[in-house]
Structure 1
Amino acid sequence: MNDIQQNIIKELHVKPTINVKEEVREIIDFLKGYKYNHDFIKSFVLGISGGQDSTLLGKFAQMAVEELRTEGKEIEFYAVRLPYGEQLDSQDVDDAIIFIQPDYDVTINIKESVDSGVKALNDAGFNISDFVIGNEKARERMKVQYAIAADKKGVVLGSDHAAEAITGFYTKFGDGAADLMPLTGLNKHQGQQILKYLNCPEHLYLKIPTADLESDRPLLSDEEALQVSYGHIDDFLEGKEVPKEAFNRILHLYKTSQHKRDKAYHRYNLPQNMEE
Structure 2
Amino acid sequence: MSDHYESIQREIIQALEIPAEFDAEQEAALRIQFLKNYLMQSGMESYVLGISGGVDSSTAGRLAQLAVEEARKEGYNAQFFAMRLPYGVQRDEEDAQRALEFIKPDKVLTVNIKPATDGMLEGLKGAEMAFRDEAHQDFVMGNVKARQRMIAQYAVAGAHKGLVIGTDHGAEALMGFYTKFGDGACDLTPLHGLNKRRVRMVCEYLGAPDNLVHKVPTADLESLSPGKPDEEAFGISYAEIDDFLEGKKISDHAIEVILKYYNGSHHKRALPVTPYTPLPQS
TM-score bracket for the superposition, by shorter chain length: over 0.9
Counterpart residue identity of residue 78, structure 1: F
Q: Structure 1: where are the runs of 5+ without partners?
A: none
Q: 3-state SS of the aligned residue for 1:236?
A: helix
Q: Any idea what the Cα deviations from partners look like across 1:6-53, whole Å, max 9, x if unmatched?
A: 0000010112341111101100011011123112x0100000000010
1:137 corresponds to which residue?
145
Q: 3-state SS of the aligned residue for 2:96?
A: helix
1:24 corresponds to which residue?
28
- The answer as to 2:202 corresponding to 1:194 is yes
Alignment of 1:73-92 (within 5 A): 73-92=76-95
Q: Any idea what the Cα deviations from partners look like across 1:166-219, whole Å, max 9, x if unmatched?
A: 000000000000001110000110011111111101001111000000000000
Counterpart residue identity of residue 34, structure 1: Y
Q: 3-state SS of the aligned residue for 2:90?
A: coil
Q: 1:33 aligns with which of 18, 34, 37?
A: 37
Counterpart residue identity of residue 44, structure 1: Y
Taking the aligned partners of 1:109 and 1:85, their CA distance within structure 2 comes to 6
Percent identity, aligned pairs only? 48
Tell me how far 1:127 sits from its aligned partner: 2.5
Q: 1:97 aligns with which of 75, 97, 100?
A: 100
Counterpart residue identity of residue 261, structure 1: R
2:134 corresponds to which residue?
none
* Mean Cα deviation higher: 50-59 or 124-133: 124-133
Taking the aligned partners of 2:280 and 2:30, their CA distance within structure 1 comes to 39
- The answer as to 2:119 corresponding to 1:116 is yes
Tell me how far 1:269 sits from its aligned partner: 2.3
Q: 3-state SS of the aligned residue for 1:191?
A: helix
Tell me how far 1:270 sits from its aligned partner: 4.4
Taking the aligned partners of 1:85 and 1:78, their CA distance within structure 2 comes to 21
Q: 1:220 aligns with which of 213, 217, 228?
A: 228
2:9 corresponds to which residue?
5
Tell me how far 1:272 sits from its aligned partner: 8.3
The answer (yes or no) to whether the contact 1:16–1:237 under 8 Å persists in 2 is no
2:246 corresponds to which residue?
238
* Mean Cα deviation higher: 91-100 or 189-198: 189-198
- The answer as to 2:73 corresponding to 1:65 is no
Q: Structure 2: where are the runs of 5+ without partners?
A: 132-136
Q: 3-state SS of the aligned residue for 1:166?
A: helix
Normalising by structure 2, we get a TM-score of 0.94
Q: Any idea what the Cα deviations from partners look like across 1:54-107, whole Å, max 9, x if unmatched?
A: 000000000000010000000100000000001000000000000000000110
* Mean Cα deviation higher: 154-163 or 193-202: 193-202
- The answer as to 2:130 corresponding to 1:127 is yes
Q: 2:161 aligns with which of 137, 153, 157?
A: 153
Counterpart residue identity of residue 110, structure 1: I
Q: Any idea what the Cα deviations from partners look like across 1:132-172, whole Å, max 9, x if unmatched?
A: 00000000000100000000010000000000000000000
The answer (yes or no) to whether the contact 2:40–2:71 under 8 Å persists in 1 is no
Taking the aligned partners of 1:108 and 1:16, their CA distance within structure 2 comes to 40
1:43 corresponds to which residue?
46
Q: 3-state SS of the aligned residue for 1:30?
A: helix
Taking the aligned partners of 1:64 and 1:127, their CA distance within structure 2 comes to 46
Counterpart residue identity of residue 32, structure 1: K
Normalising by structure 1, we get a TM-score of 0.96
Measured on the aligned residues, the alpha-carbon RMSD in Å equals 1.2
